[in-house]
Amino acid sequence: MLQAAREGIELGLTKYTPSEGTLALRTAVAAKFERENGLRYDPVDQVMVSTGGKQVLYNGFMAVLEPGDEVIMMAPYWVSYPAQVELAGGVSVTVQTEPGDGFLPTVEAIEGAITPRTKVILINSPSNPTGAVYPPALVRAIAELAASRDIWLFSDDLYEHMVYEGEFLSGASIAPDKALLIHGASKGYALTGWRIGFGAGPSALIKAMGRLQTQVTSNANSLAQHAALAALTQVDETLAFQAMTRTAYRERRDVLVAGLNRLGLHTPTPQGAFYVMADLRNIDPDETTAALRLLEEAHVGVVPGTDFRAPGQARFSYATSMENIQEALRRIERLLA
């Protein structure tokens, strides 16, 4: 990938690309979805490239939401979801999930949240911030529920390649004609700063999203597109890299989860992504106060659950070295003592 980025400079890739991304990259994205997810998208009009998965998602909300339309999402959620829905004039409706259930929703709870204004059900598995991986049967049931009510399913698959137990199934694979698949190079290809996202869905939706993007940002960075193309087409190297990172993350997760539970900061074992939601009430009943104490007294940075809608909890990230994780656990232990 780094070589491809350098090569992009030598090749003089200084010009605009098509707003929806180079055809070479869209073709490689479509090939990835077919190879890994059994999904067939036409690269010309069912796939687009944006400035991060974040822009894919925002384009999607802007394309489908009318003022007051509702989007069902599971809490704890990634903080950008409700903010983007609000920016697009929509209303977030949350289905709360609990640590005792491994942060998995029930189909009944989602069904109970549907109203005549529901336009989108949004799922994110593996989840940021909980690390929950939805079992395929649950993904299928949610997608079938959405399709049966003519509701869009937005499937945020950014963490697909970080599954340690269980099986990944894209929500978009059940009823692809009524789904937006949100993906990108940030997590599974470790290119967060290069800002490449992929979106796939029915052509009318992708066309509407493309019309918006062309007026807002035009194409994603041309050099980063060239590098992402290498990541998607050098299949064996990428698979080896993803397997290596999975092994490292699983080891770090195991150490962090065991350590937090031993210290009474309880957390279920997440099966994916690189986050742990842990209960901080052993430190303070208010999660913001607890997180501040961790920061100021133990110099350990966590994100309090307030903005994720996770009262009493905070998100720990294990996208850091094993030494840092072990040192953080020692410092928390000293704080509690």
Q: Are 44 and 132 in contact (CB under 8 A)?
A: no
Q: Which residue bears the tokens 């929703």?
A: 105
* Minimum distance from residue 327 beta carbon to ligand PLP (Å): 24
188 part of the interface to ligand PLP, by CB under 6 A: no
Q: How far is the CB of 213 from ligand PLP (least distance, A)?
A: 14
In the list 158, 172, 230, 332, the residue contacting ligand PLP (rule: CB under 6 A) is: 158
Cβ distance 315 to 308 under 8 Å? yes
Distance of CA 304 to the CA centre of its chain: 19
Please identify, among the stretches 14-22, 52-60, 82-90, 109-117, the one whose residues bind ligand PLP according to the rule CB under 6 A.
Answer: 52-60
Helix, strand, coil share (%) of the chain residues, nearest 5: 50, 15, 35
Question: What is the C-alpha to C-alpha distance for residues 10 and 140, in angstroms, rounded to an integer?
Answer: 46
For residue 73, state whether it binds ligand PLP (rule: CB under 6 A).
no
The whole-angstrom separation of Cα 19 and Cα 46 is: 14
State in angstroms the smallest separation of the CB of 56 from ligand PLP.
8
Largest CA-CA distance found in the chain, in angstroms, rounded: 60
Q: What angle do CA 222, 13, 31 make, to 5 degrees?
A: 50
**Which of 21, 43, 53, 90 is the binder for ligand PLP (CB under 6 A)?**
53
Q: Which of 52, 76, 259, 272 binds ligand PLP (CB under 6 A)?
A: 52
Say which DSSP state 163 is in. B
Q: Which two tokens stand for residue 134?
A: 């939805």
78 lines the binding site for ligand PLP (CB under 6 A) = yes
Using the rule CB under 6 A, is 219 a contact of ligand PLP? no
Smaller CB distance to ligand PLP: residue 39 or 158? Answer: 158
Sign of the alpha-carbon dihedral angle for 254, 299, 188, 308: positive
Asked if residue 315 binds ligand PLP (CB under 6 A), the reply is no
- Give the C-alpha separation, 182 to 179, whole Å: 10
Give me the least distance between CB of 142 and ligand PLP, in Å please: 16
If binding is defined by CB under 6 A, does position 181 make contact with ligand PLP?
no
Binding segment toward ligand PLP, per CB under 6 A, in 51-59, 67-75, 170-178, 294-302: 51-59
Instruction: Report, in angstroms and rounded to the nearest whole number, the Rg of the chain calculated over CA atoms.
Output: 20
- Provide, rounded to whole angstroms, the least separation between the CB of residue 271 and ligand PLP: 15
Q: Which stretch binds ligand PLP (CB under 6 A): 49-57, 113-121, 137-145, 264-272?
A: 49-57
Q: What does the binding site for ligand PLP look like in residue numbers (CB under 6 A)?
A: 52-54, 78, 124, 128, 156, 158, 184, 186, 192, 197
